[in-house]
Amino acid sequence: MSAGAPDPPPPLAAPAPPPPYRIQVGDLLGIRLFLTPELDEDVTVRPDGRITTQLAEAIPAAGRTPEQLGARLRVIYARELKDPRLTVEVKQPSPTRLYVAGEVPSPGELLTAGPPLTLVQAIARAGGLRPTGDPDAVLVIRHGDDDRPVVIRTRYSDAVSGRDPAADLRLAPFDIVYVPKTGIARIYVWVNQHIQQFVPVTWGFSYNLNPVVNNTSRP
């Protein structure tokens, strides 16, 4: 490299892998047994999150990965079969539901087929950020295995600018993306609620106040 030449830019970080797929209500599942194909069947996850097969009744399926459900079915099928080698595949997933709230033009539920959206894709579907939205403090609220909410904070600005591709999180079904107000927007709301309705002011932190006149003074 010649003297004075700029250093090459650092390589971009690899994007984070998507979370494992978890079965949802309405998914069409294919259960396949290698040694007893006559027991193969397709079942739909019921509204209560359970499935019923020829050898298992009312088994919880929603929230589990296909591998976890397959392991559970193998235990149950072993009561009737000597070597229940089986797999569970998602033949037709139900639409993925995500939610975007806060400082976006079109908050609400997003339905999408196939893999869940990324953070940038979800916010784009909601119309992007409002000028009052804070791009450096976007929150993703996700429910884990124990149904406890986990809050993930990420910088949307880093994702859209390319500074940190990993900031463009791959969302999981039922994630909630919340875009908070910027600090200046919160101040504006406070002024509007507590001051401006009583004393009109000029926004921008400049106030035009009339000078006090001393009525006792004489020319």
Closest residue by Cα to residue 73 from 30, 24, 19: 30
Classified by CATH at the fold level, domain 96-183 comes out as Outer membrane lipoprotein wza fold like (3.10.560)
Q: Supply the pLDDT for residue 123.
A: 95
What's the rounded Cα separation, in Å, for the pair 65 and 89?
A: 10
Q: What is the pLDDT of residue 219?
A: 43
pLDDT for the residue numbered 87: 95
What integer pLDDT is reported at residue 115 of this predicted model? Answer: 72
pLDDT number for residue 151: 86
Provide the sign of the torsion angle of the four alpha carbons 39, 41, 47, 49, taken in this order: positive
Q: How many helices (H) and strands (E) does the chain have?
A: 4, 10
Contact 85, 33 (CB under 8 A): yes
Indicate the burial class of 11 (C-beta count within 10 angstroms; 0-12, 13-18, 19 or more): exposed
At 205 the pLDDT is 39
Please enumerate in sequence order all residues whose Cβ is within 8 A of that of 101, keeping only pairs 6 or more positions apart, or say none: 107, 108, 176, 177, 178, 179
The DSSP secondary-structure symbol of 155 reads -
* Annotation: CATH topology of 28-92: wza like fold (3.30.1950)
Three-state SS across 34-66?
A: CCCHHHCEEEECCCCCEECCCCCCCEECCCCCH
Dihedral in degrees, nearest 10, Cα atoms 99, 101, 105, 108: 40
Distance CA 79, CA 68 (A): 18
pLDDT at 174: 86
Mean pLDDT by 10 residues, the chain (219 residues): 56 57 91 94 95 95 94 95 93 90 93 84 94 90 77 89 87 89 67 53 42 44
* Domain boundary assignment for the chain: 28-92, 96-183
CA proximity to 131, closest of 93, 192, 68, 179: 179
